[in-house]
Amino acid sequence: MNQSSIFLEGEGDNYFLRNKAALEVRSGASEITWLGQALSPFKDKINTVLEIGCSNGAKLEQICGLLDAKGKGIDPSKQAVDEGNRRLSRSGTQLHVGTASRLPFESLSFDFVYFGFCLYLLDRQDLFAATAEADRVLKFGGFLAITDFDPIHRYKRPYHHKDGVFSFKQDYSKVFTESGLYYLVSKNSFSHRQPFFDADGNERVSTTLLFKEIDAY
């Protein structure tokens, strides 16, 4: 079965419940603070934000606060989305149940799109659909960021919590930059055990910030 369907049909809720406490602690995560600082010179141009893999919207709420922007999010966990929408109902931020490969948003409707640590669990059949969807909804001259594992070599391994599901670890920013249509603005390297560069390549995580060229030619 497709991994996206597995997460929509219950594993997304399981993931949320397993990680809920950590998500609350990490709502002030260093990568979000770093993104806010990196994007601060362009704050007046960023009015709309989309987080793909938003969970309960804790990080999206912080991003929107730092950028003074309106946000939308998408996540396969109905429990996470319901909880987030209850908490964020007065802010104008809206969360939706769904996956990265089919976004329920209009083309060229966001100034900033953020993959919030989710691509490593995306079914490989959906990878190009997901990157195409992110590109579709992002305006030219907008920014795209990705937080995910950043190993020395790409590899896959079994997902410990569900038989038949795999984690796929690689530098996902290259899917965009190798097209020539996106430019690498900056990169922040850290790990889950420390908020700075980790010498152990198997532990590395990074946040990459990309710019969608207005005219790449």
pLDDT in tens, 119-160: 999 999 999 999 999 999 999 999 999 999 999 999 999 999
What is the per-residue pLDDT for 182? 98
Q: How many CA atoms within 13 Å lie on the side-chain side of 45? A: 12
217 belongs to a structural domain:
no
153 belongs to a structural domain:
yes
Range of the domain at 204: 3-212
77 belongs to a structural domain:
yes
83 belongs to a structural domain:
yes
Q: What count of other Cβ atoms lies within 10 Å of the Cβ of residue 192?
A: 13
**CATH (domain of 43):** 3.40.50.150
Query: Are 110 and 172 a contacting pair, CB within 8 Å?
Result: no
| H helix runs in the chain, sequence order | 3-6, 12-25, 30-39, 58-67, 78-88, 127-137, 173-177
183 φ, ψ (degrees, to nearest 5): -115, 135
- Of 106, 211, 121, the residue nearest 165 (C-alpha): 121
Q: Identify the residue whose tokens are 């609350």.
A: 24
Mean pLDDT over each residue of the chain, to the nearest integer: 94
- CA 48 – CA 155 distance, rounded (Å): 34
Burial (CB count within 10 angstroms: exposed 0-12, middle 13-18, buried 19+), residue 18: exposed
Q: How many CA atoms within 13 Å lie on the side-chain side of 13? A: 7
What is the per-residue pLDDT for 1? 78
131 belongs to a structural domain:
yes
pTM of the model: 0.95
Q: How many structural domains compose the chain?
A: 1
The pLDDT confidence band at residue 70, using thresholds 50, 70 and 90, is: very high
Average pLDDT over residues 168-187: 97
Over pLDDT 70: what percentage of the chain? Answer: 97
What does the pLDDT look like over 13-34, one tens digit per residue?
A: 999 999 887 776 554 568 999 9
53 belongs to a structural domain:
yes
- Of 172, 141, 188, 170, the residue nearest 29 (C-alpha): 188
